[in-house]
Amino acid sequence: MEKRGLAILGSTGSIGTQALEVFEAHSDKFELVVLTANSNAALLIEQAKKYLPNTVVIADENRFEEVKNALWEDDIKVFAGKEALSQVVQMDEIEIVLTALVGFAGLEPTMSAIEAGKNIALANKETLVVAGELVTQRAQEKGVNIYPVDSEHSAIFQCIVGEFHNKIEKIYLTASGGPFRGKTTEDLKSVTKAQALNHPNWDMGAKITIDSASLMNKGLEVIEAKWLFGLKPEQIDVIVHPQSILHSLVQFEDGSIKSQMGLPDMKLPIQFALSYPDRFKSDFPRFNFADFPNLTFEQPDKDTFKNLQLAFDAMGASNGMPCVLNAANEVTVQAFLEEKIQFLDIANYNEKAMIHFSGSSASSIQELIALDDSVRSYVDSLI
């Protein structure tokens, strides 16, 4: 098997570091071409020295000298800045780009990689939330595959492999419920940042962990699923499954339901997105039925966790509304992490932004960038 050229955007993050573990276990199958970080120069340098990629990018230009000086003797090319991310993904040696950076910043490099005909292993769900129609349309035109990394979407993808000609009637995205499952609005008034960051099942980056606590993550995944699998909003449902063993379910037209199961471990969906259509042997811990005598399911509480309802509303509204919700949420989550607002303010400000920008439309990347910018300024002014 010829080695697949691999670029990992966001290699210093939670998904990025796990992707490097997958690469290390299968370095006979991949050629590591590009690693990138935002500002964590120390870890990027460490990774580059260990894995010797062709090129690294540090998005924060202030860290360029540090990275350049550290890597000059290793014969690794070093670039800096946001534009460099979009340029390096087009390198000839790359076959697949893992987009593991966080937030709206993933949109332009992902589009650039698609333009160059590179397959995408997509962790950066915000890209599809903001520009699902443009991204999937362009991918189709360029013959590019988008392989999901999100565990729920990977589960659905794994269920429909071999069933591509069979129609999906409905999908159920499973949600753990996060650290605040079962809490009331009254309870949520006083929760702290540390409590919100304490996810029961998954160890992830800070932004997605807060999104999981507020159920915004599930909302973003609903919109992501719509674009990845070409579904109508009424074909997507969310079910809370606190044990995170069933990673999502697909119901076909004959009523049969398939699910993909396993312990919560992101390395598996990362690996499948990179190895598809093959499955590589792994030593990931195996699921033991005796450890989980009760797998339970319950309805999500969309009244208390308003963000989930907001995402369904945004999906059904104008084509700019998911971009509005995403931009507002990136600002409010950051403000919560900086302890400038309370937990419940996240959804309240997100809702205000959706009302303020109701009816917004954006049909090009430039218009989406401008809309994202306006929403950020508006939400900043509220905070």
Does residue 105 touch ligand NDP according to CB under 6 A?
Answer: yes
64: helix, coil or strand? helix
34, amino acid identity? V
Closest C-alpha to 329, from 197, 221, 211: 211
Considering the rule CB under 6 A, would residue 14 count as an interface residue with ligand NDP?
yes
Binds ligand NDP (CB under 6 A): choice among 155, 208, 238, 379: 208
Distance of CA 150 to the CA centre of its chain: 6
- Kindly tell me which residue out of 55, 78, 91, 126 binds ligand NDP, with binding defined by CB under 6 A: 126
Q: Of 8-16, 186-194, 240-248, 363-371, which part binds ligand NDP (CB under 6 A)? A: 8-16
Distance of closest approach, residue 230 Cβ to ligand NDP, in angstroms: 20
Residue bearing tokens 């920008």: 357
CB of 183 to ligand NDP, least distance (A): 23
Strand partners, 233: none
Site for ligand NDP in 232-251 (CB under 6 A): none
Whole-number Cα distances in Å, 64 to 46, 48, 338: 15, 14, 26
Interacting span for ligand NDP (CB under 6 A) from 111-119, 122-130, 160-168, 173-181: 122-130
Does 20 contact ligand NDP by CB under 6 A? no
Using the rule CB under 6 A, which residue among 5, 6, 7, 13 binds ligand NDP? 13
Asked whether the beta carbons of 131 and 368 are under 8 A apart, the reply is: yes
> Closest separation between CB of residue 253 and ligand NDP, Å?
29
Q: What residue ranges in the chain does DSSP mark as E strands?
A: 4-9, 30-37, 55-58, 77-80, 96-99, 119-122, 146-148, 168-175, 236-240, 246-252, 257-261
Question: 124 Cβ partners below 8 Å, 6+ apart?
Answer: 9, 10, 99, 100, 101, 102, 103, 106, 110
Residue 379 CB, nearest distance to ligand NDP (Å)? 17
Which residue, 89 or 208, is less far from ligand NDP as judged by CB? 208
Closer by beta carbon to ligand NDP, 46 or else 303: 46
- List residues near ligand NDP by CB under 6 A: 10-16, 37-40, 59, 100-102, 105, 123-126, 150, 202, 204-205, 207-208, 266
